[in-house]
Structure 1
């Protein structure tokens, strides 16, 4: 926990730890009487503390702690010295990190730690024993793997490995987790020869040494960035790999980054084997957009047996919808399937009796309009939101859309205030009518996303954030939040002018005020970071899956005095003037947010700060020393959540899930077992569809995963249902296709 020195100041975690240029250490493990190899200090099992004994160096603090805590642990008696017969004296001595019951010494397993300046190091470790091969050695250095299940033989008794971990807590930790009777012989710790600041993996999902991982999932690496993001072109099968740990067999996979360029995602093209150990690695061949190489990384995890599917199962069926960057899908009033693309097309397909698609019609209205008006990036535009007007008929459909500049990756530079809402109508949806212009937009892929008509006839809009965690940060072009960012907006069509678009830019030279009487576009709920999709359930609730931030974002600090924005918060009518809490900012928050599904309620807050609205606290704050819902441990203990936070309406969709498309299943398949449940598409770590139960009060149950037919997609973005058949259509951005899911009978 970081100490708070000044209310309103920033709590600073370094955006990137630098290699220390002076600290180094060499430790020879053995017995209390061992004379260490020249240049090495001796460790013979003492509890962690300052070392002052003979042959233990000068000014060093190291020793042993518990396997699951930092309580000092005395393992004296676990050292062994096999004599001088070994060619390498360093390998002739050792300490048991995990002592078998039959051996003399301390049976409690322990970790070894040494106090070091924070930074990135080159660490070489060795395991083995001259007289015994009854071990399965494992060593984890910080949060990555060095030695994984090395079983010695009479011919190969030792294994030596080198890793480059980053220390951020002042202690380098070496753990035998995952091993059996692990014996450590020596360790060397040296600063990197290259003092350049490099991007690197911060954590992975599944985390290092995880057991029971889903065989259908992906591996997602959360990053510590230096520049604007990952260079996707350098993510190849040679630079990012997944291999079976025992055999070294490579897993066929697709490697991508997120739209924000802030993760590395490895997605196997088929499911992984059950109950199998895998090694995930990132090499220095991966680079950021400024050409900096990544610090190498390696971690291991073991899959579980998978989950049962019960009575619900779908069959995947290929369709003719291929070769496009499909984003969103919706069934029209004409019983046809409409699919938008990230470059501005809408494809319309006839749906056959068996659910397959045919007769593709290409609608280029958005691209034609962009070219005619000379919009940035024309003719390309990204169409995310699609919602048919309630007055639409089969003969005269009217389609509302969101239109954004297209972010194709690379250095982020998309123009702010460049998103819009439009209406397509007329023959072939060929008439483009812009109704809302100059919505805010991030430099990357946070934009004006999906649309849904509510039971009140209003149009509800998912508006993305401009940055990671509420305050400007370099990875997101240092662009601040504006008044309409990170929110669910409400558009009342009855308040639109008879002609012309409403300019909703809220900052100079714009003058739009969503709080003004008769404003057509207003704030419905706030703090919704980057909701891709939203759905009005038949129970009257509005649900929206929402992407949380990767690690490394900045949160805003509350200023003194409070700004004028605090007089117009959306909860001011019911809660009065805003007076706090006052919170510090966090710079480069080292902990990623989870993804969410929100049960959105009018005038409530859902955790993404926006200083333009007098919203300062990220997620659940850090109110107690215990574990609290959606807590942010970078805050000092006692940091209360925003008074308007609707914690009861926040549900966990999974870390790095990229929870995107959502639909309420309305079909009667499986005896109605799926009816009324929420189906949420996870683009990233799951690459699947998870299912949330919905009770009579609208509360969601924990999600179910692993349903047959709901796994193994390639970067799925959206889902829609043909309620007449109970079939589903899923857009797979990674495969440039739309997949049909038929209920299995």
Structure 2
């Protein structure tokens, strides 16, 4: 009998061959090879759930939905972002979902999306406006659709935005603010994302004074026509600006990579925590602890970082969580986070505010773990656990993956850090429905329990294909799913 060995089976024998296999194999992300279509098959039976649970689609045909909430009558509302990576611009909207899946527009915003999160509190909706064009905002929307701004000019014109407002036990409104860049250095990858051309002086802002080591990174200069032009760029400064050892960059509010809060009636911003990369989802556990999902580094740009999972953090007020010199509480002091064929990242800061803690859980590398909620009703099952929506990889833009990552709902025991699949597409392979050729989940971006805890709503952004030119999001393919428990497992 002839035995044939696949070359990647050799990985069992040598870590060096793992790296070799990684280098030789092409990227195979979930958006690579996905169907490009503005129509979508919806088939709940293509989604695997634990025994005793049921999933149904309660709204479809949405364009870039990102978040869901309910009002005091229990009516479900969903946001349409109005912006997507791929530089697609539309008016953002707050929609009410009717019993037959019909939608009614409650409010429409300006083209300054994406609208990245919504919560309802004391008769009003509170929305995080991503601010890709004009800077981020926190908006208050009354039931009649009137908009007012609680805070504006948040530093969100870059890679990451203003995210996920949530009301704390103290009555304050908490939200996340992402960083301008992948790893604190503006570069050609930000031009590819679109914003560096619009705002060449935009950069990350620390929340407190920092001292730089003076590292600078040379790159091509996409802002000029000459192909031979190069630029030298340091940390926390505009593209093409060099830094020096001992240089002090002053901290300020609002700042990048942080969680901030303000009164729901409006008022001055307060810093809660910083040193995060893209704090996307925020939720309070029953004991009052704030948790946040953090989209970790990509393997791209002038300072790529390799192999870091997304993180779920338990937030301690006043703490610095390590960006841009740590990942998951581990420092950049060796080859641990070295991109194959590139230099290992070295620290940018001469001094660190504190030793970062370990995360409550480490999620999939490039999984884009985003909106989540805690189960507060034991009858639903898995009481006290976090249910996290994983949008899925955006390879190859974020770096190479050997197989699709994410595209599902996972549950996390925050006491142990153990993660388990909860809702995932059926089949021998993982990935979005458009790649698997079925009618299941595409790109889950938020998970939210109903006020009584009997139902879990899942916001599914829709089809996003990844091409050589970048993301190609498909309009009218978004869905809101509803998961309920029908029997004891």
Give TM-score scaled by structure 2 length: 0.65
What aligned pairs does 1:61-80 form with structure 2 within 5 A after superposition?
Answer: none
Structure 2 residue 262 is the aligned partner of structure 1 residue 491: yes
Shift of 1:431: 1.6
Residue 419 of structure 2 aligns with which residue? 703
* Larger RCO, structures 1/2 (Cα 8 Å, 6+ apart): 2
C-alpha distance after superposition, 1:179-220 (max 9, x if no partner) = xxxxxxxxxxxxxxxxxxxxx99875xxxxxxxxxxxxxx53
Shift of 1:269: 9.5
Residue 485 of structure 2 aligns with which residue? 743
Q: 1:473 to 1:636 in 2, by over 3 A?
A: closer
Cα pair 2:408 2:423 within 8 Å, conserved: no
C-alpha distance after superposition, 1:536-583 (max 9, x if no partner) = 1111110111111220244xxxxxxxxxxxxxxxxxxxxxxxxxxxxx
Gaps of at least 5 residues in structure 2 are 83-91, 197-201, 207-254, 393-404, 431-439, 463-476
1:419 to 113, 126, 136: 136
Look up the SS of the partner of 2:182 in the other structure.
coil
Look up the SS of the partner of 2:483 in the other structure.
strand
Cα pair 1:595 1:659 within 8 Å, conserved: yes
Residue 113 of structure 2 aligns with which residue? 381
1:593 to 308, 312, 322: 308
Shift of 1:439: 0.8
Gaps of at least 5 residues in structure 1 are 1-132, 144-168, 178-199, 205-218, 222-234, 242-252, 257-267, 274-305, 352-356, 371-377, 406-413, 497-519, 555-586, 610-615
Structure 2 residue 356 is the aligned partner of structure 1 residue 646: yes
2:449 to 693, 717, 721: 721
Residue 521 of structure 1 aligns with which residue? 269
What aligned pairs does 1:323-342 form with structure 2 within 5 A after superposition?
Answer: 323-342=62-81
Residue 481 of structure 1 aligns with which residue? 204
2:29 to 191, 197, 220: 220
Residue 388 of structure 2 aligns with which residue? 680
Shift of 1:459: 0.7
Residue 409 of structure 1 aligns with which residue? none
Structure 2 residue 164 is the aligned partner of structure 1 residue 450: yes
Look up the SS of the partner of 2:189 in the other structure.
helix
1:658 to 340, 350, 368: 368
Which has the larger displacement, 715-724 or 336-345? 715-724
Residue 400 of structure 1 aligns with which residue? 126
How many residues align structurally? Answer: 371
Shift of 1:450: 0.7
The CA distance in 2 between the partners of 1:546 and 1:633, in whole Å, is 24
C-alpha distance after superposition, 1:79-126 (max 9, x if no partner) = xxxxxxxxxxxxxxxxxxxxxxxxxxxxxxxxxxxxxxxxxxxxxxxx
Q: 1:362 to 1:594 in 2, by over 3 A?
A: same
Shift of 1:423: 1.0
Look up the SS of the partner of 1:703 in the other structure.
strand
Shift of 1:596: 0.9
1:439 to 143, 150, 154: 154
Structure 2 residue 435 is the aligned partner of structure 1 residue 690: no
1:733 to 461, 466, 476: 461
The CA distance in 2 between the partners of 1:641 and 1:744, in whole Å, is 54
Q: 1:607 to 1:625 in 2, by over 3 A?
A: closer
What aligned pairs does 1:6-405 form with structure 2 within 5 A after superposition?
Answer: 134-139=2-7, 204=27, 219-220=28-29, 240-241=32-33, 253-254=34-35, 313-343=52-82, 344-350=92-98, 357-358=100-101, 360-364=103-107, 366-367=108-109, 370=110, 378=111, 381-389=113-121, 392=122, 397-405=123-131
1:667 to 377, 390, 406: 377
Aligned Cα root-mean-square deviation (Å): 4.1
Cα pair 2:273 2:319 within 8 Å, conserved: yes
Residue 297 of structure 2 aligns with which residue? 549
Give TM-score scaled by structure 1 length: 0.44
Look up the SS of the partner of 1:438 in the other structure.
strand
Look up the SS of the partner of 2:6 in the other structure.
strand
The CA distance in 2 between the partners of 1:728 and 1:528, in whole Å, is 27
The CA distance in 1 between the partners of 2:18 and 2:450, in whole Å, is 55
What aligned pairs does 1:541-580 form with structure 2 within 5 A after superposition?
Answer: 541-554=289-302
Cα pair 1:663 1:720 within 8 Å, conserved: yes
Q: 1:269 to 1:388 in 2, by over 3 A?
A: closer
Shift of 1:173: 8.9
Cα pair 1:604 1:645 within 8 Å, conserved: no
The CA distance in 2 between the partners of 1:548 and 1:447, in whole Å, is 14
Shift of 1:255: 7.2
Q: 1:623 to 1:486 in 2, by over 3 A?
A: closer
